Amino acid sequence: MKNTEGSSEAKRRAGEHAADLVDDGDVVGLGTGSTAAHTIHALGQAVDSGLDVRGIPTSFQSRQLALDAGIPLTSLDAVDGVDIAIDGADQVAERGDGGFDLVKGGGAAHAREKIVDAAADRFVVVVDPSKLVDPLDYPVPVEVLPDARPTVAGSVRALGGEPTLRAAAHKDGPVVTDNGNVVLDCDFGPIGDPASLATELSALPGVVEQGLFVGLADAVHVGSTDGVDVRGE
């Protein structure tokens, strides 16, 4: 379930602003979603102008966008590390320690996104102002092995959440992730302790990955019609 609020101009400004952080020779994690798409387009233009980078896509969508933009691609097992990852979010909450907690997975790519974002030396989030909240209260996407859906749904209810199997928009049946799994959107209402909930969800048998990104982001670039507000580093 994607959070579709926010203006296209604000998203464009945030995505392009973060693309300017990429240096020659960098390995870049390429996020998924409408705001990260602006970063990919901007990087493609920079590559056309001579920037030497390699991208690691986090989804089929970001891979296709990067190929169309002319960005050379690689994979985690072919590089020594990821210099920077740039990705969007469905919600962002600032922590008391100056860090950030996120809900991601509106595009059902959060498993691969988390792997790449966590591997990066810097993880930069690009959003519009509508994504800033306190506290997080967006349904948490949980990628689940198909056979485990009933038991995981029951466990989510025991944790106080209401799980909903994400339905596909243009076919009968559920959304299927790039990994071949299904997604439960789990509504817990306001999330007072994202770290504890993330730990509990990750421990459920059959869960591949959950969409709480706790303390992973180094900076958040918030686009608006007037410019970009950089929070964090």
Identify the pLDDT of residue 56.
Answer: 98
Identify the pLDDT of residue 168.
Answer: 94
3-class secondary-structure state, position 157: helix
Residue 210: band (very low, low, confident or very high) from pLDDT cuts 50, 70, 90: very high
- Residues whose CB falls within 8 Å of the CB of residue 70, separated by 6 or more in sequence, listed in order: 44, 47, 48
Integer CA distances (angstroms), 162 to 28, 159, 185, in order: 36, 9, 8
Q: How far apart are CA 95 and CA 66, in angstroms?
A: 32
Name the strands in the sheet holding 91-94, side by side, starting at the edge strand that comes first in the sequence.
91-94, 100-103, 212-214
Identify the pLDDT of residue 139.
Answer: 98
Position 215, amino acid: G
Q: Which member of 5, 16, 113, 143 is catalytic?
A: 113
Cα angle: 214, vertex 109, 23; to 5 degrees: 75
| pLDDT of 153 higher than 80 | yes
pLDDT digits (tens, 9 = 90+) for 104-136: 999 999 999 999 999 999 999 999 999 999 999
Please confirm, yes or no, whether 209 is among the known catalytic residues: no
Q: What is the DSSP letter of 132?
A: B
Q: How far apart are CA 172 and CA 196, in angstroms?
A: 35
Residue 6: band (very low, low, confident or very high) from pLDDT cuts 50, 70, 90: low
Mean pLDDT in residue range 201-223: 98
